[in-house]
Structure 1
Amino acid sequence: MSESTTTAPEYDVVVNDEEQYSIWAVGRAVPAGWHAVGVSGTKEKCLEHVEEVWTDMRPKSLRLAMGEN
């Protein structure tokens, strides 16, 4: 009898032009307007990265309209 091993799904961290972040399953085509940032791994690892880097939830266009970076 062989043991079946279940591996956790892998994800990529993706970002859009408005600097909004998400995670996307590895192996699936990234939607138009989004691109991978080079961080991948477990869901938890990817969400931790998003939490670290996405500190301002406002879209980039709103920040620029308000005179901020």
Structure 2
Amino acid sequence: MSNPFDDKNASFLVLVNHEGQHSLWPAFIAVPAGWQVALAATDRAACDAFIEANWVDMRPRSLVAAGGG
């Protein structure tokens, strides 16, 4: 099996976890526990743009809340 992230025609999701971290995820693979869909299945360019626009602070929420970083 080839790397699903290399498929230019694939559909992807944007996932987000409780720490506010975002992930590009192949739409055909089940969403792992602890992650929620933030952007429904679409092309990779739309997912990349969504992540760039919405994940502006790379620090986990728990670190921000603790005053770290």
**TM-score w.r.t. length of structure 1:** 0.80
**TM-score w.r.t. length of structure 2:** 0.80
CA RMSD of aligned residues (A): 1.7
Kindly, what percent of the aligned residue pairs are identical? 39
CA distance in 2, matches of 1:56, 1:45: 19
Structure 2 residue ranges without an equivalent (≥5):
1-7
Structure 1 residue ranges without an equivalent (≥5):
1-6
Question: Which structure has the larger Rg over C-alpha atoms?
Answer: 1
How many matched pairs?
Answer: 61
- Which moved further from structure 2: 27-36 or 53-62? 27-36
Amino acid at match of 2:32: P
Structure 1 segments, 4+ long, off by >3 Å, are none
